[in-house]
Structure 1
């Protein structure tokens, strides 16, 4: 239960329908997810953005008030007013002097509310000015410094640079875009590389309008962004030195959480004058940053903003990443992921999945039309529920404060407890590596064999069968007592080939852990050398 009437919610959950009750989420925890908070850049806000959250989420409200007091009046309003007033002029809200500090304040406030409920991210990433919010949540910048610098950044860009425009482009050939930029290098630039086939161009209004017509004529989908200036383009050069000067006043400390920079696609940006100067001029490498996060095993992305502005590029990157990994051969016939697999967080292949959600989500009360503005604490808690059934840890003490918990029977009419006791092999593992020679000629059957080399997997299973041990490569065929992972060859000629092999090994290992849990097996053996198995060392 996130909020609302218990009787009404139970009626929804038990109503006869297509089997999926509204407002009810389920999931199976196969491994601990690695969560990333994603902070969007300018163009992501809309009127009434924080109205419901301000009224229902106390940590969000306190943080927004703190940021608003630090920045003061901007274009005649406090940040709080700009954030909660649903009647505010969208064009006035999109002015960069308003939008930049408001984005940072809103993102940090959302993150702090989630963290107060025990949702602690494993990494942070911010698109453009969103990197300031990421640095603040990560501990490198105080809230006062983050919103203060964002306000000064917006003021400088709003007063010292010419008006500009930006255009989201999807499905265009990068060579066509590069040719347009080369034709007008001082008026047009690629502002962001958001992922496969997804770019943002920036420049003077006339240059962007002309580029939109040409790209649309070539079959690309184009969408103007709600911005007042041409960020990440040559039009920002008049404020470059002033931004560096303003950055000298920042008190930057060591971050408590990992932050992935979208300027460099590297960990822990320095947030010094040089970085923050280049951050305004150079393109955003969001797609490259997301790909690196996927490469390193991050699989749960929480976008702290409305409209799923960045959810689409993240899903596209995840689909491309999975399709790239699937060009090898692994046991269980891997396949390229479908976009719907990514969006709903369902399994992709065997044991690997990516979930992308946006916070707080749309307000959608039962029996009511979908609201035109984002929801509040109820919708944010519903999103948290999706994370919880995935395995994300929550602080129940904070969540249950001021609420009455209602115990429900796990099975109708039977007063029996079904809560599981601690097992010797739980669903979550702390993996350690220890060489362990086999005590017998072969492991106890039935045996499930998996690995990156399908041929070796099949041959080892056949060798076991020849020795009278029940063995299979099909996870659903038998209740295996032992899972054997064949690590595969380690030969490589280039660094790129090694990285590709490394991704395949990590994926295979995660899949083996999932199979180990699903089968309820007693042992997981990893063969690292010496195939066939009967003369191998194992770990």
Structure 2
């Protein structure tokens, strides 16, 4: 990358982003063989398949690669590797945020955990989620094809979910505010009731997310308790770069109470809704970056970032057409999972 140094907010993706097209991502992009070997050593000591073996498999397997105990480590490593590959002489990272388990990656990229400790966090929580596998998740849009904000429709859908949740034996709760999508989580009765009642859209939605539990809901309290018992306070430290969490709160360097950061990470972040849209709005308004950089793996989070910026009325964008015009003019969104865009923020 050449030219004037630009400011950027880094965005770390969550579960569901390491898929068939990402097979081999670590082999191609991870810049530190010794660090990756350390991650693999942690996996071997826990009798888990190494990231190297998973990433170098002959073919992608849904049952193997999307399990929480495998996917979390793969996604964490891919994200961290991309962060380490950014040309810091050309790009100044002014804040970091993430979606869902991307918070664990964000903590590490910001320096609030060492890479090995961050991997321990991501791998432990992913394994605990997989072992418990409490409930599930689905995705449903409230924006149309032009991404025009429709808050009334969002509120209607959430009201309908609340009605289902009030029925005996049914659990259905907001899990993630993901741009123009609502991620809902609950038990089988709650999820099925929603799926059977709402209009199908594009033959895709409502979309059930495979190997996903009811993340960011009170159903995860048992997982949160186990995580807190296993992951000590010594893992957390002062960040070097501001962090924006799933409430839109900013954790500033040199001003963080690390005990509170641990409590949020292993408590609220696990059992309460994750507002990714608000995190992006705060990033835009508080830091006004030149760029929003979405690390790999995958390319699916870019749409949610764009939709979140539209919801925030960032730079007057009010639709997909307006976003595309701004992107053509300023290239404000960089997805490192796309080869051409990746080259714009890396040294080679």
The TM-score, its normalising length taken from structure 2, stands at 0.81
Instruction: Answer with 286-295 or 302-311: which moved more.
Output: 302-311
Q: Select 1:184's aligned residue among 118, 142, 165.
A: 165
For 2:216, the equivalent position in structure 1 comes to: 232
Q: 1:120-135 residue pairs with structure 2 within 5 A? A: 120-135=92-107
Residue 247 in 1 paired to residue 250 in 2?
no
Structure 1 residues 90 and 295, CA, compared in 2 at 3 Å: closer, same or farther?
A: same
Residue 358 in 1 paired to residue 335 in 2?
yes
Greater Rg by CA: 1
Q: 1:135-154 residue pairs with structure 2 within 5 A? A: 135-154=107-126
Contact kept, 8 Å, 1:75 with 1:98, in 2: the verdict is no
- Aligned equivalents of 1:301 and 1:151: distance in 2? 26
For 1:330, the equivalent position in structure 2 comes to: none
In structure 1, the residue corresponding to 2:31 is in which secondary structure? helix
For 1:212, the equivalent position in structure 2 comes to: 195
Contact kept, 8 Å, 2:178 with 2:276, in 1: the verdict is yes
For 1:462, the equivalent position in structure 2 comes to: none
Residue 286 in 1 paired to residue 259 in 2?
no
Q: Select 2:251's aligned residue among 267, 280, 290.
A: 267
**Cα offset for 1:47?**
3.5
Q: 1:46-65 residue pairs with structure 2 within 5 A? A: 46-47=19-20, 49=22, 51=24, 53-55=26-28, 57=29, 59=31, 61-65=33-37
For 1:194, the equivalent position in structure 2 comes to: 178
**Cα offset for 1:176?**
2.7
Deviation track 1:201-256 (CA, whole Å, cap 9, x = no partner) reads 01123421321232226999432223332211232122222222223254221111
Higher relative helix content: 2
Q: Select 1:167's aligned residue among 124, 138, 150.
A: 138
- Aligned equivalents of 1:144 and 1:32: distance in 2? 30
In structure 2, stretches of 5+ residues that fail to align are 143-152
- Aligned equivalents of 1:88 and 1:286: distance in 2? 28
**Cα offset for 1:116?**
7.0
Q: Select 1:96's aligned residue among 68, 71, 88.
A: 68
The TM-score, its normalising length taken from structure 1, stands at 0.54
How many residue pairs get matched?
326
Q: 1:409-428 residue pairs with structure 2 within 5 A? A: none
For 2:328, the equivalent position in structure 1 comes to: 346
- Aligned equivalents of 1:73 and 1:79: distance in 2? 13
Structure with larger RCO (C-alpha < 8 A, sep 6+): 2
Residue 41 in 1 paired to residue 24 in 2?
no
**Cα offset for 1:170?**
0.6
Structure 1 residues 86 and 125, CA, compared in 2 at 3 Å: closer, same or farther?
A: farther
- Aligned equivalents of 2:30 and 2:223: distance in 1? 37
- Aligned equivalents of 1:116 and 1:360: distance in 2? 18
- Aligned equivalents of 1:209 and 1:260: distance in 2? 33
Structure 1 residues 250 and 96, CA, compared in 2 at 3 Å: closer, same or farther?
A: farther
**Cα offset for 1:118?**
5.5
**Cα offset for 1:161?**
4.5
- Aligned equivalents of 1:282 and 1:314: distance in 2? 21
Contact kept, 8 Å, 2:248 with 2:282, in 1: the verdict is no
In structure 1, the residue corresponding to 2:246 is in which secondary structure? coil
Contact kept, 8 Å, 1:100 with 1:129, in 2: the verdict is yes
Q: Select 2:266's aligned residue among 265, 276, 291.
A: 276
Instruction: Answer with 176-185 or 248-257: which moved more.
Output: 176-185
Q: 1:506-517 residue pairs with structure 2 within 5 A? A: none
In structure 1, stretches of 5+ residues that fail to align are 3-26, 327-335, 348-352, 362-378, 388-393, 400-539
Q: 1:389-400 residue pairs with structure 2 within 5 A? A: 399=348
For 1:426, the equivalent position in structure 2 comes to: none
- Aligned equivalents of 1:262 and 1:173: distance in 2? 19
Contact kept, 8 Å, 1:244 with 1:274, in 2: the verdict is no
In structure 2, the residue corresponding to 1:308 is in which secondary structure? coil
**Cα offset for 1:37?**
1.4
**Cα offset for 1:190?**
0.6
**Cα offset for 1:73?**
6.3
Structure 1 residues 90 and 102, CA, compared in 2 at 3 Å: closer, same or farther?
A: same
Contact kept, 8 Å, 2:75 with 2:297, in 1: the verdict is no
- Aligned equivalents of 1:216 and 1:75: distance in 2? 44
In structure 2, the residue corresponding to 1:202 is in which secondary structure? strand
Contact kept, 8 Å, 2:141 with 2:205, in 1: the verdict is yes
